[in-house]
A and B are shown apart, each in its own frame.
Chain A
Amino acid sequence: MNRLQIAALLTHLVRRMRHHGGWCGETHVQKSTYVAQQLAGVPLGFDFILYKHGPFSFDLRDELTSLRADDLLHLEPQAFPYGPKFKITDNARKLGQKFPKTIKKYTDALEFVAEKLADKQVDELERLATALFAKSNFAGMDDHDRAAWINQKKPHVTIEDALAALAEVDELEEEFNSELA
């Protein structure tokens, strides 16, 4: 996919997250993009590492800045003391209209991600996305070892919470596969 197609999909995801009541700060966009890419198979091509609040892509951060520069995303300031939300612009809507086939191809996958993640708080997103990261990177490990790894990397995530997040990833994968794959 070229840059504009990726921009159309990213802004579509932000729009659907907002539609479903999601906060859509940068952390939300980072985690939902990771889930869209890793679990729902949307080929956005961002490189994620385990960093702040779980999987994080510096390339995606740069691209979100470029989308702001290109008047496709705006930062919407929030009341004290909260960080801003992303909001798509009219230009982003127009861009989406120029890529009907691309949007159609991935719309169900992005809708699935938006529906499932929009109402989650940052703590929940961090646990879920980190669990997905552990599953994707340690295919041969069992969930107890993965939970221990998560707890070691993110000490504020208890083993019990990590196990619950790993189980939630299984459920999401199952649901996605039965509905959309």
Chain B
Amino acid sequence: MPKHLHEIRDPIHVFIRLNTDERKVVDSPPVQRLRNIHQLATTFLVYPGATHRRFEHSLGVMELAGRVFDVVTHPYNIHDDIRRIVPEITDQNQMGYWRGCLKMAALCHDIGHLPFSHAAEKELLPEGWDHERLTRVLLESTEMRSLFNDMTPPLRPNDVIKLAIGPKKAKHLSFSTWETVLAEIIVGDAFGVDRMDYLLRDSHHAGVVYGRFDHHRLIDTLRVLPSPPVSGNAPAASPTQPAEDQPDPTQPQPPPREPALGVDEGGVHTAEALMLARFFMYSQLYFHPIRRAYDIHLKDFLKAWVDGGQFSTEIARHLEMTDNEVTAALLQASRTPDAPGHDAARRLTKRDHFRVLYQRHPDDVRVNPEAGKSVFDAACKKFGAERCRHDRYSQRSGAPDFPVLTKDGRIASSLAMSQTLTQLEAVSVDYVFVDPDILAEAQTWLQANREQTITPAEELNDE
């Protein structure tokens, strides 16, 4: 008898479970290509273990998406307000379809990534393109449509696209409330399974423990809940309040607030752990200065090496281009002095990366929030633009404000429940790197001119 359920071993989730239809999508060229895309670009040059690929991350996101779906749609876990405003959540006829759709969206959410993931995306794609748009184009391709159509039940590609890239990137598509909730399971700010998996997986492979948190407990406590109350939108009365304090059912009730992914009260501490893991992973690993410097050299190499300085957005050419092709070219260029991108390639292979001249300091930010740019502009004037690089990046997403279902049945903001979340800083980096040959001279120059360089005063363009 043929086997219809399959398991894949995974160091994070132990087993990834999938059916035969889903395995066909795993075996498709766009998903298999992810075996050759590093999850963390050049991070392995700093953390040697971080050589894992987008393929296993995509499997992990699929596994977690299925687990979260099962928890938040379990009848016992559905909040009464949500039953009213998202009736689909109790429609058993639709559950199989949406679960399959969510898992496939999770599996395919990264198929549009360029070689070395995010490192090169911004400057190496034509205006208006990013990896999410490439993902969308791939999901709309004949091959993927056919795979989705052959599934039981067949999946509508547009539904997979919506859940895979979310409302931010699928602006051309209209989302129902239910679809918005499902997309949040994958790409959500607070509890998106994309983030959960990459924190766990990246910390495992990089060998750092601060990306870990109790995701089993967190997932068990996830709920779709009305958004936390704000001024004037009085919270619903508690079911444990005396009857006379309960809302009068004959009077019109305020409209339920929009749904969001939140936790029940028992999950607040694991949610804190997730947010702390995110903070530490960003500040210690993703924004590690040497890793950022290597990414800059990689970008410089790619700009010189890729035809026309930009990657193709044609499907066939996208599928052919992986880290393997780039690595082979990079090694070759590093040995060939007149090859395009030789200098950048040599810096990557010989570990002769640019060094940190300046990094963000809270005192400087108080004087000038764009202090790094001021230092960079001045350093370029002094030493030449080819010997200096600037890297500024702030954590995306909003404050960790999500709904919490309290033990007495009320909905509260996580930030009213947790001092830890309230105190959590937003991570931001602002580095100026220089050629190691001029580092000592540049340090001396900056030391002598630091204050006047950082103070913005006349530099501001106040028009």
B394 lies within 8 A of A4 (CB): no
Tell me if B401 is interfacial: C-beta within 8 Å of chain A: yes
Tell me if A138 is interfacial: C-beta within 8 Å of chain B: no
A27 lies within 8 A of B370 (CB): no
Q: Which B residue sits closest to A119, measured CB to CB?
A: B232
The contact of A84 among B227, B401, B428, by CB within 8 Å, is B401
B399 lies within 8 A of A62 (CB): no
Shortest distance between the CB of A83 and any CB in chain B (Å): 4
B256 lies within 8 A of A156 (CB): yes
Given contacts A4-B370, A84-B401, A156-B85, are A25 and B231 in contact (CB under 8 A)?
Answer: yes
From residue 54 to 93 of chain A, which have CB atoms closer than 8 A to chain B? 58, 61-62, 64-66, 68-72, 75, 77-84, 91
Shortest distance between the CB of B127 and any CB in chain A (Å): 14
Chain A CB within 10 A, most for which of B174, B257, B425: B257
Chain A CB within 10 A, most for which of B258, B397, B406, B427: B258
Complex-state Cα separation, A167 to B276, whole angstroms: 46
Shortest distance between the CB of A133 and any CB in chain B (Å): 13
Shortest distance between the CB of B129 and any CB in chain A (Å): 16
A27 lies within 8 A of B365 (CB): no
A121 lies within 8 A of B233 (CB): yes
One of B63-71, B209-217, B413-421 contacting the partner = B413-421
Given contacts A81-B412, A98-B462, A122-B233, are A75 and B428 in contact (CB under 8 A)?
Answer: no
Q: Which A residue sits closest to B176, measured CB to CB?
A: A153
A70 lies within 8 A of B369 (CB): yes
The contact of A91 among B228, B366, B395, B426, by CB within 8 Å, is B366
Tell me if B396 is interfacial: C-beta within 8 Å of chain A: yes
From residue 1 to 46 of chain A, which have CB atoms closer than 8 A to chain B? 2-5, 7, 23, 25-28
Report B-chain residues with C-beta under 8 Å of the C-beta of A170.
none
B369 lies within 8 A of A81 (CB): no
B412 lies within 8 A of A84 (CB): no
The contact of A66 among B230, B394, B416, by CB within 8 Å, is B394
A68 lies within 8 A of B369 (CB): no
Complex-state Cα separation, A5 to B287, whole angstroms: 26
Report B-chain residues with C-beta under 8 Å of the C-beta of A100.
462
Complex-state Cα separation, A72 to B228, whole angstroms: 25
Tell me if B328 is interfacial: C-beta within 8 Å of chain A: no
Report B-chain residues with C-beta under 8 Å of the C-beta of A123.
232-233, 254-255
A84 lies within 8 A of B258 (CB): no
B427 lies within 8 A of A69 (CB): yes
Interface size class of A (residues with CB under 8 A): 35 or more
Report A-chain residues with C-beta under 8 Å of the C-beta of B456.
4, 98
Report A-chain residues with C-beta under 8 Å of the C-beta of B394.
62, 65-66, 69
B416 lies within 8 A of A80 (CB): yes
Chain A CB within 10 A, most for which of B231, B406, B422: B231
Tell me if B436 is interfacial: C-beta within 8 Å of chain A: no
Complex-state Cα separation, A102 to B175, whole angstroms: 37
Interface size class of B (residues with CB under 8 A): 35 or more
Report A-chain residues with C-beta under 8 Å of the C-beta of B3.
none
Given contacts A83-B229, A123-B233, are A69 and B428 in contact (CB under 8 A)?
Answer: yes
Report A-chain residues with C-beta under 8 Å of the C-beta of B171.
49
A77 lies within 8 A of B369 (CB): no
Report B-chain residues with C-beta under 8 Å of the C-beta of A101.
462-463
Tell me if A95 is interfacial: C-beta within 8 Å of chain B: yes
Report A-chain residues with C-beta under 8 Å of the C-beta of B231.
23, 25, 82, 121-122
Q: Which B residue sits closest to A92, measured CB to CB?
A: B369
Shortest distance between the CB of B355 and any CB in chain A (Å): 24
A68 lies within 8 A of B362 (CB): no
Tell me if B235 is interfacial: C-beta within 8 Å of chain A: yes
Shortest distance between the CB of B389 and any CB in chain A (Å): 19
Complex-state Cα separation, A87 to B362, whole angstroms: 19
A82 lies within 8 A of B413 (CB): yes
Shortest distance between the CB of B214 and any CB in chain A (Å): 25
From residue 383 to 419 of chain B, which have CB atoms closer than 8 A to chain A? 394-399, 401, 406, 410-413, 415-417
Q: Which B residue sits closest to A60, measured CB to CB?
A: B398
Chain A CB within 10 A, most for which of B365, B366, B397, B426: B426
Given contacts A23-B231, A68-B426, A101-B463, are A77 and B370 in contact (CB under 8 A)?
Answer: no
Tell me if B180 is interfacial: C-beta within 8 Å of chain A: yes
A70 lies within 8 A of B428 (CB): yes
Given contacts A2-B461, A52-B258, A66-B394, are A83 and B425 in contact (CB under 8 A)?
Answer: no
Tell me if B1 is interfacial: C-beta within 8 Å of chain A: no
Report A-chain residues with C-beta under 8 Å of the C-beta of B227.
52-53
Contact with A along B370-388 (1 / 0, CB 8 A): 1000000000000000000
Report B-chain residues with C-beta under 8 Å of the C-beta of A71.
362, 365-366, 369
A69 lies within 8 A of B395 (CB): yes
Binding site for A on B (CB under 8 A): 85, 167-168, 171, 174-175, 180, 227-233, 235, 254-258, 260, 362, 365-366, 369-370, 394-399, 401, 406, 410-413, 415-417, 422, 425-428, 456-457, 460-463
Some 18 contacts from A to B, beta carbons below 8 A apart, are: A2-B461, A23-B231, A26-B399, A51-B175, A52-B180, A52-B258, A52-B260, A66-B426, A78-B416, A81-B228, A81-B410, A82-B228, A82-B230, A82-B412, A83-B413, A99-B460, A121-B231, A156-B255
Q: What 15 additional pairs, Cβ within 8 angstroms, besides A49-B167, A122-B233?
A: A23-B230, A49-B168, A69-B394, A69-B426, A71-B362, A72-B369, A81-B412, A81-B413, A82-B412, A84-B399, A98-B462, A122-B230, A122-B232, A123-B254, A157-B255
